[in-house]
Structure 1
Amino acid sequence: MRSMTGFAHREHNSDTVHMVLEIKSYNNRYLDLSVTLPGALSVLEPEVRALVGARLSRGRVEVTVRLRELARNPRVRVDSDAVAAYRSALETVRTVAGIPEPVTLADILRFDDVLVVEHERDLDAYRELLLPMLDQAMDDLDTARQTEGQATERDIRNQLERVSVALKIVENVAPQMEASLTENIRTRFAEVVGDQADEARIYTETAVLLVKYSINEELSRMSSHLAGFAESLGLDEPIGKRLDFLCQEINREINTIGSKSFVLDVSRQVVEMKDALENIREQLRNIE
């Protein structure tokens, strides 16, 4: 079992480059991936998305890469057309304004695009640096998510045990419910017609009420759902959606049992099961 919450951090330092990679993940119904790369590495975004998407199935995941180049060999090029255009415009301004001072180099250099700085980067070298770092960070993230997932699994199993214990109590009380129902029908017939009650009619009325109030089918389905839930907890794969579906089915059976119950002990156990199940559903919101 893996949590959807995790964090991973990796750094690379050399004489030429300092790179920092961070991955943060949060709970989310689907996989929502956000990638923030420096402009120099933006062409690698599809590869980053593909690598992360292959490792995760759910969660809000933020991948951030920061890059600082320590040794650069920039090429500085003068944009002659821009220089000529700016000088012409400044001369026109000087003439219109009646300013005697000539246009200076400092005036022209105030415009950013006069000097064009071009960096020569080896994209393949950055790819060979970034992608292995990302793969290692994903291993770290997976370890963090597994660690938190194990703690969550222990809590879910404890809550699941609460449901199982309460269900066992209800199963033990169920025959008493049927016996009590039968006794109540006989008592009512006796109150109305005395010793003249038709035994066949009593059996018929009893059968009708037993069909209406019997919880045997609900108990059987709940036992099956709980067994499937416990089995799924041990799978080494994304199980969050499956467990959420089973919780819905279990909740449906608990509600039906509660609606049919006329015995105080059963009603108490229904409350216990609903409380434990709500705790499980709360935990499942953070399971992949």
Structure 2
Amino acid sequence: MIKSMTGFGKATCELSDKKISIEIKSLNSKQLDVNMRLPNIYREKDLILRNELANQLGRGKVDVGFYVDYLGAEKNASINSQVIETYYNQLSPIADKLGLSGNTDILRAIMPLPDTVKIEQAELDESEWATIFDTFKSALDKLNSFRAQEGKVLQKDIVERIANIKNYQKAVEPYESERIEKVRERILDQLNELKEKINLDKNRFEQEMIFYLEKLDITEEKVRLKNHLNYFIETIENEELVGKKLGFITQEIGREINTMGSKANHSEIQKLVIQMKDELEKIKEQNLNVL
């Protein structure tokens, strides 16, 4: 069963002084590409989180966001009284000189200035981190469930398109003998027009005719195409993390379809080949999102 690289997972936890929401979303990518948005206090755990993502997700463009809502006042924020006094001592004489009165107005002007509030870096509590990491893994589980559901939709669509290619291939068969006979008749008609002007070696002509018709034969292409289509279905139903492998198989399918088209020499077969190519292109587009 395949998985999609597209997914979303969210989980939350409440601690003594804050609520943390963790969101993880992923899109398709050839490699694992992680964009992590962490509060400074959790930066030291960045590598642990990335390793967990690599183990669980394989590849994809992944965005991780930690969002913190404090349930009360931040304990690590405090007024820097020394800085405020310095600002006040500098601004007060200027206010008197300009005839501006009122300490409240000066204080209101001071507070937005740099360093009036100290933010002390809190230390990470390991027991708190254990709860947060469990929440992170819960969001990751939800993301993986989302990927699995999307994978079912992708697989259903892709398998149906493989079946369509098989049906188009079967539809080629009634035209094959007709195609060869028409080619033979066309060559003979052209040669009959020339036979009075040239000396024709019948034996050599038959040999060349057989060689030419063999080059137009598409039996080998049909056999290989059928094998590739069956292998594609076998792979998608029985293996995991098959996106790249399916990509290689679709290349081989495309090669056989293209060869059939180049050998066709028949308008109806060409139409069927075009329909097969159309289905294959849609499979390739879907496969870009397969993990």
TM range (shorter): 0.7 to 0.9
Alpha-carbon shift at residue 236 of structure 1 (Å): 3.7
Which among 185, 190, 203 is matched to residue 206 of structure 2? 203
What pairs up with 1:138-217 in 2 under 5 angstroms?
138-171=140-173, 173-193=175-195, 198-217=201-220
- Asked whether the equivalents of residues 8 and 141 of structure 1 are also in contact (C-alpha less than 8 Å), the reply is yes
Give the counterpart letter for 1:132 in structure 2: D
Name the stretch that deviates more: 216-225 or 18-27.
Answer: 216-225
Residue 113 of structure 1 aligns to a residue whose secondary structure is coil
Instruction: Work out the CA distance in 2 between the residues paired with 1:120 and 1:246.
Output: 54
- Asked whether the equivalents of residues 185 and 205 of structure 1 are also in contact (C-alpha less than 8 Å), the reply is no
Aligned match of 1:277: 280
Asked if residue 264 in structure 1 is aligned to residue 260 in structure 2, the reply is no
1:117–1:151 Cα change, 3 Å: closer
1:122–1:69 Cα change, 3 Å: farther
Alpha-carbon shift at residue 2 of structure 1 (Å): 0.8
- Asked whether the equivalents of residues 88 and 107 of structure 2 are also in contact (C-alpha less than 8 Å), the reply is no
Alpha-carbon shift at residue 100 of structure 1 (Å): 9.0
1:272–1:100 Cα change, 3 Å: closer
Alpha-carbon shift at residue 75 of structure 1 (Å): 5.5
- Asked whether the equivalents of residues 108 and 114 of structure 1 are also in contact (C-alpha less than 8 Å), the reply is no
Aligned match of 2:244: 241
Residue 28 of structure 1 aligns to a residue whose secondary structure is coil
1:146–1:190 Cα change, 3 Å: same
Task: String of CA shifts for 1:74-112, please: whole Å, max 9, x gaps.
Answer: 2666657635643553366468x4669698883795245
Alpha-carbon shift at residue 25 of structure 1 (Å): 1.7
Task: String of CA shifts for 1:90-149, please: whole Å, max 9, x gaps.
Answer: 366468x46696988837952452442436444313320221112122111111111111
Alpha-carbon shift at residue 212 of structure 1 (Å): 3.6
Instruction: Work out the CA distance in 1 between the residues paired with 2:100 and 2:184.
Output: 115
Length-normalised TM-score, structure 1: 0.83
Q: Percent identity?
A: 28
Flag structure 2 segments of 5+ consecutive residues without an equivalent.
none
Alpha-carbon shift at residue 214 of structure 1 (Å): 2.7
- Asked whether the equivalents of residues 44 and 127 of structure 1 are also in contact (C-alpha less than 8 Å), the reply is no
1:211–1:92 Cα change, 3 Å: farther
Task: String of CA shifts for 1:158-209, please: whole Å, max 9, x gaps.
Answer: 1101101111232454344334433443444444338x85431222221331
Alpha-carbon shift at residue 3 of structure 1 (Å): 1.2
Asked if residue 27 in structure 1 is aligned to residue 28 in structure 2, the reply is yes
Residue 115 of structure 2 aligns to a residue whose secondary structure is helix
Length-normalised TM-score, structure 2: 0.82
Aligned length: 286
1:108–1:163 Cα change, 3 Å: closer
Aligned match of 1:134: 136
1:261–1:120 Cα change, 3 Å: closer
Instruction: Work out the CA distance in 2 between the residues paired with 1:226 and 1:130.
Output: 46
Residue 254 of structure 1 aligns to a residue whose secondary structure is helix
Give the counterpart letter for 2:150 in structure 1: E
- Asked whether the equivalents of residues 4 and 151 of structure 2 are also in contact (C-alpha less than 8 Å), the reply is yes
1:261–1:107 Cα change, 3 Å: closer
